[in-house]
Structure 1
Amino acid sequence: MPAPPLWLRWLPVAFVAVVLAIEPVTPVHWPVSFLLIALPLVAAFGYGPATVVAITVFAVVLEGVLAGTPCCAGRSVGYLWDIHYVANYACTSLVGVLGAILAVHRMRRERTLATVRSVAETAQRVLLRPVPRMLGRMSIETLYLSAAAEARIGGDLYEAVQTAYGVRLLIGDVRGKGLLAVETAAMMLGAFREAAYDEPDLVGVAHRVERSLSRHAARLAGSESGERFVTALFAEIPDGESVVRMVNCGHPPPLLMHDGGVTELHATDPSPPLNLGVLTGDGYRVDVERFQPGDQLLLYTDGVTETRGADGAFYPLAARLRRWARMRPGALLDRLHADLLAYSGGCLDDDIAALAAYRLPDGVRLPGEGGR
């Protein structure tokens, strides 16, 4: 269970210091020591119940010292057992009991939240397992941010695998939120991981994933079957060709960074999202684009471009990316992450996934390669 922030642990000390500072300078009919009633509640935010009880005892004793000291607030006599101060001691004790209960509740909730986060992080490592940083001649990095801060997992997905046909990439966005979206994402990733190795072309991969998703959606009750769809982008980067092949199923267009410039790779004939293909009956179209050594490809979900700034404007991804087009994948995604948080004021309302793939120049050796 994480410890409370340092400032919360010092807050009771600061509270007492303020009371002691203003008590001697306030009029006698303004008994500032009564503020110590709140001290147990202040302590409950940063300490456990035993410490809250100890601080309550300290508060009652300090109230008695201040009430019984004639010089405080210009008094000529003490008021240790004055009825108002006795009531103050009783109220402080009662608030101390409530503070201890609050501390117990807070600690239980923090333990529960820590457990939920641990389980969610484990699930995310299984669902979105770490992508190898090097696949063939490709350097790859990923970014994932969940809008559900406590769960840290959502319906956006990505994957990258090395196959006999080259490096194959997937990025997708499941409609909806919650556990059903996570279940759909897990099913889709499993289907892609099998099909990517077996199917000789991207059209076959897309068909395999589509059929798996349709079977999954058919098992859902009510209207969820027809409404469960996924936007997705499949990409293939063959080892021996300076091209990238793509099948876009209703997904935001990837961005190609070449020689410091940024180009959106729009599909010439985009396919509908997965599980909606039955509505059109059309097949999948493969687009081929130049992808040379030294080029970089950014795949992302719409959570990136739909991030809003303080003025309500959407995040200008392509324009921002032109400033960082020469960065390598790790630095690029770190910069994108920081910029998204700054642009949104730290309030990301949607899941975000991004995958950057950089084709190493021919003269760059991979780790473990020979040569002088």
Structure 2
Amino acid sequence: MYAHRSATASAPHTTVHWIGHLASLMGASLLTLVFCRSHERSHRETSRLRAISQAAQRVVLRPLPRRIADLRIGSVYRAADPLAEVGGDLYAVARTPNGTRFLIGDVKGKGIAALDGTAAVLGAFREAAHQHASLPELAAALEVSVRRHVAEAAQSDADAAERFITALLVEFPAGGCVMRSVSCGHPLPLFVRGNRVTALRGSRPAPPLGLAGVDPEAYRQDTFRYAPGDAFLLYTDGLAEARDGAGAFYSVTERDIAWRTAADPQVLLQQVQDDLLRHTQGRLNDDVALVAVHAADC
């Protein structure tokens, strides 16, 4: 009798325990389902954003040709935002009657927020590069275009007026083994000869575009001579200002890089990019744009 009553009394407790266990399993299954669906939506959204960013890059930051006349060209763009393919750093090239002209620059800000200024200055360069005989004239024309763009953008964006653009114009005229440059608050290229790299020194730069002058006389042109086989590395400040975990800056001129590979500019840039990412443990705080130009002949 006692045993029978004990078994009977434990039955409700067993049932409640079983129901609680089932409810826990159902709850865990539901949470897993919600997580999986959320993860799937997040993955789809990330893929969609990346596809949009890649399309924007192809339209705004067009791939540079691998060769123009006697110049071999390589380019790399690395965005700090892992979902972005284009942002505040920029580069372009134009083959004109006055020579092959390059632009590299950096819009204040980074990522998608700076894309409007990037598109504006690239569009202005692609047109004006063919219309002006000298780099100072070209720089002054870009200043006019940037000012116009900023004035229009400021009507709907209060921060537009603060988005100045550092820029470097570089020109390789046909023949003569000469490179000319005009800096608007932007570092001059690095010069590569054999397995050595040095930083070029030039005139005092003009202020960044948006803060500079509209008179060509406000811009100083530097001229550098080179020999066949030499190369130049154009870069944005994301390279010079990158840091490792301890806060040490990346100094590209002091790194162990096979500079002699500059005969293939894209190979050289891949080495620089890989070395940069090793230094920063794969993390960048700013976008980085690099253009390498190898002069096969004069």
Please list every run of 5 or more consecutive structure 1 residues that lacks an aligned counterpart in the other structure. 1-80, 363-372
Q: Which has the higher contact order (CA 8 A, sep 6+)?
A: 2
Match status 1:295 vs 2:235: no
SS at match of 1:154: coil
- Equivalent pairs, count: 281
SS at match of 1:277: coil
SS at match of 1:268: coil
Q: Percent identity?
A: 40
- TM-score scaled to structure 2, two decimals? 0.89
Residue 109 of structure 1: how far off its partner (Å): 1.7
Structure showing the higher strand proportion among its residues: 2
Larger Rg: 1
- CA distance in structure 2 between the aligned counterparts of 1:226 and 1:118, rounded to whole angstroms: 30
Moved over 4 A (4+): 278-282
Residue 183 of structure 1: how far off its partner (Å): 0.8
Which residue of structure 1 lines up, in the alignment, with residue 74 of structure 2?
A: 141
Match status 1:327 vs 2:270: no
Match status 1:175 vs 2:108: yes
Which residue of structure 1 lines up, in the alignment, with residue 295 of structure 2?
A: 359
Which residue of structure 2 lines up, in the alignment, with residue 214 of structure 1?
A: 147
SS at match of 2:124: helix
1:136–1:162 contact (8 Å) kept in structure 2: no
- CA distance in structure 2 between the aligned counterparts of 1:118 and 1:279, rounded to whole angstroms: 39
- CA distance in structure 2 between the aligned counterparts of 1:296 and 1:331, rounded to whole angstroms: 13
SS at match of 1:111: helix
Partner residue of 2:55 out of 107, 122, 130 = 122
- TM-score scaled to structure 1, two decimals? 0.72
SS at match of 1:327: helix
Residue 85 of structure 1: how far off its partner (Å): 4.7
SS at match of 1:252: coil
- CA distance in structure 2 between the aligned counterparts of 1:218 and 1:100, rounded to whole angstroms: 51
- CA distance in structure 1 between the aligned counterparts of 2:32 and 2:207, rounded to whole angstroms: 56
Partner residue of 2:89 out of 148, 156, 168 = 156
- CA distance in structure 2 between the aligned counterparts of 1:278 and 1:163, rounded to whole angstroms: 24
5 Å-filtered alignment, 1:16-165, equals: 83-165=16-98
Q: Structure 1 residues 137 and 281 mapped into 2: Cα distance closer, same or farther (>3 Å)?
A: closer
Superposition RMSD in Å: 2.0
Please list every run of 5 or more consecutive structure 2 residues that lacks an aligned counterpart in the other structure. 1-13
Q: What residue identity is the alignment partner of 1:128?
A: L
Which residue of structure 2 lines up, in the alignment, with residue 309 of structure 1?
A: 244
- CA distance in structure 1 between the aligned counterparts of 2:226 and 2:129, rounded to whole angstroms: 20
1:175–1:229 contact (8 Å) kept in structure 2: yes
Q: What residue identity is the alignment partner of 1:96?
A: S
